[in-house]
A and B are shown apart, each in its own frame.
Chain A
């Protein structure tokens, strides 16, 4: 089960991901991130505080946007990962290729260039 909450704030897009991003559910995550890019605000934060699990299908979704993040100069920040989920990003070094911070405050500080 994966629940996604999408919201469009003043100058950024926020996506909250809750549950398990696996082979059956990661398509929902992909649709949400696609929507966020299509909004063209170039600032996206992903709240993973309640992301319980991620498999290669979920990692693959994030991976497939790295090129677009760079090409469109989008600020794309993931925050709130639990230690066990962060470790999974680390297996393939995706923690080095994506911007990952601890809290929403840190994510917003980067969005606002503080």
Chain B
């Protein structure tokens, strides 16, 4: 089963995307805790794209597709902004961020800890990030 949702480049719209992802996962009987984890990972990626990946056309959207398989859930997040390969991003050390009283910098770390598979492709027109997580569906 596949589901799609377009999110405008606005931080205020992130909650609509979260509701969409939550509704899809609940429909497939994914537990509250697992659902929240995946919502968080997708939220972090989208927030990053919205904040840092300025698109050339402000009417562009970030497109999210969710595919639910037998034992896993995959998300495809497509955007047209500046490419940001989270796999090449070197993560900061938590202790350093705390000492420097930093308020940001842990989003990508969360995504990597939550998801089981991450793939990134960047082309001339768009960037595609695929995130998959192995899931046990509740009956």
**Residues on A close to B: CB < 8 A?**
1, 20, 22-24, 30, 53, 55-57, 59-61, 63-68, 83-85, 87-88, 91-93, 97
Contact = CB atoms under 8 A, between A and B. Distances in A.
Contacts of B11: 22-24
Contacts of A84: 32-33, 36
Interface string B1-34: 0000000000110110010000000000000110
Given A56-B44, A66-B98, A84-B33, A24 B103 contact: no
A91 B102 contact: no
A1 B12 CA distance: 9
A64 B99 CA distance: 8
B104 A60 contact: yes
Contacts of B33: 83-84, 87
Chain A CB count within 10 A is highest, among B15, B99, B114, for B15
B40 A55 contact: yes
Contact of A68 (B101, B109, B110): B101
Contacts of A63: 94, 97-98, 102-103, 106
B1 to A, nearest CB: 24
Interface in B46-92: 47, 50-51
B interface residue count range (under 10 / 10 to 19 / 20 to 34 / 35 or more): 20 to 34
B113 interface: yes
19 contacts: A20-B18, A22-B18, A23-B43, A23-B50, A24-B11, A55-B107, A56-B107, A57-B47, A57-B107, A59-B106, A60-B102, A64-B102, A67-B101, A68-B101, A84-B36, A87-B37, A88-B40, A88-B110, A93-B94
A22 B47 CA distance: 9
4 closest residue pairs by CB, A with B? A24-B11, A56-B107, A23-B47, A60-B103
A67 B98 contact: yes
Interface string B97-124: 1110111111101100110000000000
B109 A92 contact: yes
A60 B94 CA distance: 10
A24 to B, nearest CB: 4
Contacts of B51: 23
